[in-house]
Every structure is written in C-alpha cells, then in structure tokens.
Amino acid sequence: MKYVCSICGYVHDEAEKGIPFADLPADWKCPWCGASKSDFSPQEEKEAPAPIVTDVPDLSETHELQKLSAGQMAALCSSLARGCEKQYKAEESRLFKELADYFTRSTPAVEDATVMSVADALKEEIAFYPTLKATAEAAKDRGAQRVCVWGEKVTRMLYSLINQYLEKGDQMLEGNDIWLCTVCGFVYIGKDAPELCPVCKVPAWKFEKISGRN
C-alpha cells in the first residue's frame, strides 16, 4: 500500500520502506515538507466527483465585470504591482502598490476573530477546492487548474500548521524558523528553508524568513 502526502505529493511506499504506514510514530513528519501523518491518505482512494459551478450571472453581453470586494481588490492590485515590478516598471509598480494599500486598509475587520476561526476558515477553503477544480476541468482551463494544484497544497499546509499550534503551542516552533515561499505561499517550519519548494519547486532563496529563532 502507498500513502501520499496531500501537501507535497511525497509517497510512503510500505513495500519499499518495509514499514507499514500505521506503524510510523504519531509525531512522524513528511520528510519533504514536514506535514503531519494525518495529512497522508492511501493512494488508491478515488474521490467522488465534485459539483461544478454553473449558477453564474452572464455578463458577457454587458461587458460588466463582476463586483469585487475590497479584499479581492487588494490582492488584485498587489498582484499587478508584482507584475509591473517583474517588467522593471518601477513607477507603475509603486502606483499599484498604493491602490493595494488603500484596499487593504478598506477591508472590513473580522469580528471576534480567533485562532479557531482562522482554522475554520481554512477548512472551508479546503472544502471548496474540489468544486473549483471540477469547474476548471470542465472549462479545460489549465491555468485555473494549476491555481488549484498549488493553492490546495498551500492551504492544507496552513491548516495543518494551525492545528499543530492549537495542539502544541509554541513548542512546535522551538529551535525553528517560519519560512514563507514568496512565489506560491507555502509555509515551512524548520531550521533552514527547503532546498526546493515542495509545492512550486523554486529554489531556497525564494523563501523569506518570517521569525527570528529564539
């Protein structure tokens, strides 16, 4: 039997390793990305087909764009700032950054936000990925499918990390740093950044250290 890490795709082949997955210790970690044992599932498992999004307003005739929230606009503008930066358009990048900052400030505060509610929000995102993926597949939109492949892994890792924190508290960070892949958003806890991002495969220098080691 083979078990696959839902975060990075690492395969634990019981036959090859000579250890049944069930016999691995409870605190065993994915050797590639550090995900928990609970992030693994048997390879044979076939998922039930997810529903696709069909109930959408047809705006094609009116040339109208879907109304976006302040939070969506903030990400849209910071993404365009990044796009201009890549093209060495410094002035355009700065201006898009200004718009992004305005929309970030305008995003309404979340009432009664707790660590638990962040975990719940991540869980909801994970639950929506099958529908997003099925909708992208039905439209044969491979770019949107790629966003699902990366985004789902990154989100699962975030969910796994926040649950580890709820369980173990600061202990999980002891002697480690928090590393953020500045390309895909993958978060890794460890002494050094991974040599290659397990999600988007960029080299270690694309990781940014978020915390100082104690």
Residues of this chain, 75-114, that bind other proteins according to CB under 8 A: 75-76, 78-80, 82-84, 87-92, 95-96, 98-99, 102, 106-110, 113-114
Stretch that binds other proteins, among 10-18, 21-29, 36-44, 135-143 (CB under 8 A): 135-143
Q: Which is nearer to other proteins, 52 or 196 (CB)?
A: 52
Q: Please, which residues bridge with residue 4 across strands?
A: 11, 41
**149 binds other proteins per the rule CB under 8 A:** no
Phi/psi of residue 166, nearest 5 degrees: -60, -30
Give a three-class secondary structure readout of 133-164: HHHHHHCCCHHHHHHHHHHHHHHHHHHHHHHH
Phi-psi region of 73 (alpha: psi -120 to 50; beta: other; left: phi over 0): alpha
Phi/psi of residue 70, nearest 5 degrees: -60, -40
Site string for other proteins, 36-75 (x = CB under 8 A): ----------------xxx-xxxxx--x-xx-xxxxx-xx
Q: Which is nearer to other proteins, 12 or 177 (CB)?
A: 177
Q: Which is nearer to other proteins, 43 or 211 (CB)?
A: 211
> Is-contact 7 184, C-beta < 8 A?
no
**210 binds other proteins per the rule CB under 8 A:** yes
Q: Which is nearer to other proteins, 40 or 177 (CB)?
A: 177
**139 binds other proteins per the rule CB under 8 A:** yes
Phi-psi region of 34 (alpha: psi -120 to 50; beta: other; left: phi over 0): left
Q: How far is the CB of 113 from other proteins (least distance, A)?
A: 4
